[in-house]
Chains A and B, each alone.
Chain A
């Protein structure tokens, strides 16, 4: 059974940092693309970042230069390092497993339950 469990969320002051973790089981993170998706209070889903099996990474303009996605193959985990946090980064952050890679195809088969990040002084 595929499971994704996020951790690392919490309350942080503006300008601070957090590192989110996503522990995967039932598949290997290096064989699929993995993404982070967030949902701010009262808002819709917002794609944040993706890491492909080959290691390529992409980011939403809203987080580019501040967030870094990575993975640890032997631990079967994916991470999101979040620096220079802003109030508008407050959201529930979901880790998601992508489908098989295909050009022009980006979809998420499995999702974690999410971890809350609150940026406030």
Chain B
């Protein structure tokens, strides 16, 4: 049981937009910054979003992040087949004094 809750899977057609939610509490998302990662099996995870809504320079602006209260959202527009992967949210948990991840969301581009 993960501290952060994500939907197990989402799907959309190529070219469409999808959002992935991440729900937590005041101990984690509510008072700390959220990051998002893309993970393809057998490869190293890739940072997509940090500090809620900032993108590393190499990440295209098709990827966006937002936070409201104790929830965060990753948005992906202009979906491509290459976007099929597992997506994770992560943050610091002040009560646990440690990092936490969501359970991951598998994105299928139909």
Is A74 positioned at the interface, with any CB of B under 8 Å from its CB?
no
Which residue of chain B has its CB nearest to the CB of A63? B98
Closest CB of chain A to B26's CB: distance in Å?
12
Given contacts A45-B37, A45-B88, A99-B50, A106 and B44 within 8 Å (CB-CB): no
Nearest A residue (CB) for B36? A107
A109 engages B56 (CB within 8 Å):
yes
Q: Kindly identify, within residues 37 to 69 of chain B, every residue whose CB is under 8 Å from any CB belonging to chain A.
A: 37, 39, 43-47, 50-51, 56
A61 and B51 form a contact (CB under 8 A):
no
| Interface check B31, CB cutoff 8 A | yes
Residues of A within 8 Å of B43, CB to CB, are 113
A35 to B56, CA, bound (A): 19
Q: Is the CB of A104 within 8 A of B96?
A: no
Q: Which range contains the number of B residues in contact with the other chain?
A: 20 to 34
Q: Tell me whether B24 is interfacial, beta carbon within 8 Å.
A: no
Nearest CB on B from A57, distance (A)? 11
A97 CB → nearest B CB, Å: 10
Given contacts A44-B102, A44-B104, A45-B90, contact A107 B51 (CB under 8 A): yes
Report the interface size for chain A: residues with CB under 8 A from the other chain: 25
Nearest-neighbour CB distance to chain B for A7, whole angstroms, equals 15
Is A45 in contact with B44, judged by CB distance below 8 angstroms?
no
A-B contact pairs, 29 of them (CB 8 A): A37-B101, A44-B86, A44-B104, A45-B37, A45-B39, A45-B88, A45-B90, A46-B101, A47-B101, A50-B98, A58-B99, A61-B96, A94-B44, A96-B45, A102-B33, A104-B31, A104-B32, A104-B92, A104-B94, A105-B33, A106-B90, A107-B33, A108-B37, A108-B90, A109-B50, A111-B44, A111-B45, A111-B46, A113-B43
Counting from the closest, the 9 A-B pairs by CB-CB distance are A47-B99, A107-B35, A111-B44, A44-B104, A104-B32, A106-B92, A107-B50, A105-B33, A45-B101
